[in-house]
Amino acid sequence: MVFERAEASDVKAIILFLTLSATSLKGAVQSILTLIEKKPPPKPLIVGMVAAGAAEREMTLAEAQSAFRARGVECVTELADAVAAVQAATRRRTS
């Protein structure tokens, strides 16, 4: 549904920010990666993640960032960095 909405001309980018403490980071990352492999996002996708404690039991935050970046998806850990990444992506699309 988010990707469908993002097809509209008034949407410039997609930002997804997750905060995980008990839910496995690996499961969340794999689900998102599977989704974008099946249906690439229509606009730039920026993923933000904060993970603590048990969330990193199967995958570290650094590994998650690497997995996203390997697929050309920006992955940050600070909300301000996510906003900056959206701004940069928007500038690249209009240049």
Q: What superfamily does domain 2-94 belong to in CATH?
A: Succinyl-CoA synthetase domains (3.40.50.261)
pLDDT of residue 95: 61
The 10s digit of each residue's pLDDT in 33-83 is: 999 999 999 999 999 999 988 999 999 999 999 999 999 999 999 999 999
Model confidence, pTM: 0.87
pLDDT of residue 62: 94
The 10s digit of each residue's pLDDT in 1-42 is: 889 999 999 999 999 999 999 999 999 999 999 999 999 999
Question: What separation in angstroms does the CA of 78 have from each of 7, 55, 81?
Answer: 26, 17, 5
